[in-house]
């Protein structure tokens, strides 16, 4: 009888099983690499978003307006998840102007919006009230997402660090000028409002699914 060369059925089944195991292991390894890459890209995008947000905050808070130049009006209002600031705007070959800038947390997204720069205190007051009440129509810019919270602390001379909610009226600098008062008294009120303003702001971006937040401290008015 002639002997036939080849694989038996059992050998074929064993070979197929081994190949199947190798294929599954390879697929799982590839899937892990893809998932890790997706997570890394998401982290990089989030990091870039936070860097952009902090850089923009540095520009806005560094250019905060001097209350004495706008009649002692409020230049900063802050509480958890909300920052509203009056900043100076300087453009080449144009007079200096002011505008209201706001940061808000909405549905886990840190957004920024700004009013139209103006030299009119009447327009400034209207923009300030509208943005504080969130009734403005300013365009919104999304800075970063997946933000769970944005705690804020302020540094006030002779008082130190405190949570933004502890003294909202002082932090907001709520004293407003009264046109019926004598100029000397208006100037005195402006000086009082200025001394109540914080000189530093600490912002923490607490991201979802992360135990530690990213903290940044800003000096106010450093670029003016």
Residue 59, token pair as written in the block: 């520009």
Extended strands (E) in the chain: 76-79, 82-89, 97-106, 109-114, 141-144, 147-149, 152-156, 160-163, 200-207, 214-219
pLDDT of residue 101: 96
Q: What are 110-165's pLDDT values in tens digits?
A: 999 999 999 999 999 999 999 999 999 999 999 988 899 999 999 888 778 888 76
pLDDT of residue 50: 82
Average predicted confidence (pLDDT) for the chain: 80
Longest dimension (CA), the chain: 126
pLDDT category at 51 given cuts 50, 70, 90 is confident
Write down the residue that tokens 């840190």 correspond to: 110
How far apart (Å, rounded) are the C-alpha atoms in residues 163 and 66?
23
How far apart (Å, rounded) are the C-alpha atoms in residues 74 and 96?
18
pLDDT cut 70: percent of the chain above it: 78
Q: What is the pTM of this model?
A: 0.70
Helices then strands, each counted (H, E), the chain = 4, 10
- The answer on pLDDT for 39 being more than 80 is no
Mention every residue, 6+ apart, whose C-beta is less than 8 A from residue 150.
80, 81, 103, 105, 110, 203, 204, 205, 206
How far apart (Å, rounded) are the C-alpha atoms in residues 108 and 133?
19
- The answer on pLDDT for 220 being more than 70 is yes
DSSP letter at 118 equals B
Instruction: Please name which of 95, 94, 70 lies closest in space to residue 85, comparing C-alpha atoms.
Output: 70
List 112's β-bridge partners, or say none. Answer: 103, 141
Lowest mean pLDDT among 25-39, 136-150, 198-212: 25-39
Domain boundaries, the chain: 45-219
């Amino acid at each position: 009888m002639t002997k036939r060369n080849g694989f038996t059925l059992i050998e074929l089944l064993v070979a197929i099983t081994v190949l199947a195991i190798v294929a599954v292991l390879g697929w799982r390894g590839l899937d892990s690499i893809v998932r890790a890459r997706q997570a890394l890209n998401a982290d990089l995008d989030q990091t870039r978003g936070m860097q952009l947000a902090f850089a923009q905050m540095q520009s806005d808070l560094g250019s905060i307006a001097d209350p004495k130049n706008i009649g002692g009006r409020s230049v900063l209002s802050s509480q958890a998840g909300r920052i509203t600031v009056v900043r100076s705007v300087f453009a080449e070959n144009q007079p200096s102007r002011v505008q209201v800038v706001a940061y808000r947390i909405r549905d886990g997204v840190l957004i920024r919006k700004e009013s139209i720069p103006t030299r009119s205190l009447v327009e400034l007051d209207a923009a300030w009230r509208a943005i504080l009440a969130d009734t403005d129509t300013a365009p919104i810019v999304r800075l970063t997402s997946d933000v769970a919270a944005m705690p804020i602390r302020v540094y006030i001379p002779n008082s130190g660090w405190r949570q933004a909610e502890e003294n909202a009226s002082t932090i907001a600098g709520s004293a407003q000028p009264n046109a019926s008062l004598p100029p000397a008294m208006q100037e005195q009120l402006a000086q009082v409002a200025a001394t109540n303003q914080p000189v530093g702001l600490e912002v923490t971006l607490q991201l979802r699914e992360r135990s530690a937040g990213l903290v940044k401290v800003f000096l106010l008015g450093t670029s003016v």
